Structure 1
């Protein structure tokens, strides 16, 4: 992981507080940006702090350490990661000791799998790899039915068993776990919790589009974020939302895909069919308290399609926003819980 970049964010300065009996001033605060590469994408942390170079450098180093810990535990791209070591164990029926962070992510993933009736499944990794969206090279041709059926036979989150104390995992049949649909969200949470423990009162953490907000910007302004229009050619705003002490994640098929003979293949795989999703849902955005759940739920809803996902999110009183390809352009749908976050 290369060094972080630290710089003031775009012109946000807190006003001094004036008292009637004379004048008293708070130290000037700005929004400082700490950013760098991670997980094949980038992280950006906006911090509301005084101009304290030593503290900023220390926080930047701490953020990098947190991200390195998550990567060394949950990456399938690193053969030395904790997850990769489990994935290469021949007999996975014995308890395999794991760290507390990996246990927490696997437990959250299992919960989302049950809520979504298997639309989210971290054991779909071999199918993801077969379609060329994992650490292995992209295939020259689309997988045939026989190859797909062979790999799909091993998929099933129900075979995984977790032990809370001491943390461990095992499986009744050999599995390859892929946490790419939830680990970024967990990393966002891990950075947010680190910053809160270090006394940061206001910040916005973003990794590859998954975000978590805490506190407010200078001037007591909430964090404003864009829900993107799901188009490949440019970054356009579809909606603006405000966040304070919430997390937001978006899943869509418009960034990570490839085409073969004019057919588009999304990186989002339906665990039931083993094939990339083909419905008209272009993107779904979820707002909940933590980014681990937001990330996983957004993927689950993307797999389900907007009608089933809308019904489930409404029943669970979750804030979700769906952008669907219609005959004459994009159509949008939102759950009742999402309405309070939208800026008119």
Structure 2
């Protein structure tokens, strides 16, 4: 009875994601289920379905020496570099995507050079090299590195207290402040996990790029046969393009060239993917109105209210997202279909649901079913 109850919950999409082994077992117990897809809580969002599989392989090792060593290494490096350069006028930030790209070849190298024999310490047996470097190790390294990739807000409190108020908390006090604030954040994350992470209807666009790269792997994602192969050239372009502007600014220090910051220009579009194309006109319009027209004509008003308006818009989006999820999506209430949100072609882009190889697997599957 309990198995059938769980089956019903999974069929209704109320259970957590199940792995393929569990799905096969339940399939044998319930022949009335048409396909394994009915047992898997897949995302209703095409971009997520095209990138992240809803199944799990529990046989892959996770807490390996490779994962721990590379994860700790990238956490330390990113935390130090990003915090050290945080106090510059133009902070240098190394995003977790860099660690994710580097972790893959390093993991493959460790899988080749580390010994495969089994060690035993106090009865606990383990191997430094349990097999090929796998996706779970790669994702775990990325998650660990991401914890140190951003600066802590508590550091600002310590710095402000010391510089402006000549009040030093000491190493111990500062450490406790940082740890306590981080624990509060992780506590909220854990408490809200069942609402913000587990439901398949939830989507985090900023993390979708990392998830896609982790699932597919850089080798396939950036291979010559991949539709994303041109991205490789942009690594080189991003390295070269600031150089001529820097040299021109040295030669013509009083010209407009000195105001061109290619790093800021290229980083400005970083948060955009994988948002829909319909969002870009809104960003461009608001940016032009507030940061060009109003700034030039009403600088006093702009300097007083512009950032307040920005915070208000961000807060409105966050609150709206929560309301839309709990009031609409969580109750299977969907927005009406019109040309601006055509579910068969988001943003009128036929490639939006294609995988790294350029194949729309979900469209092909639907066509085969018909």
TM-score after normalising by structure 2 = 0.19
Structure exhibiting the larger radius of gyration computed from Cα positions:
2
Higher share of residues assigned strand: 1
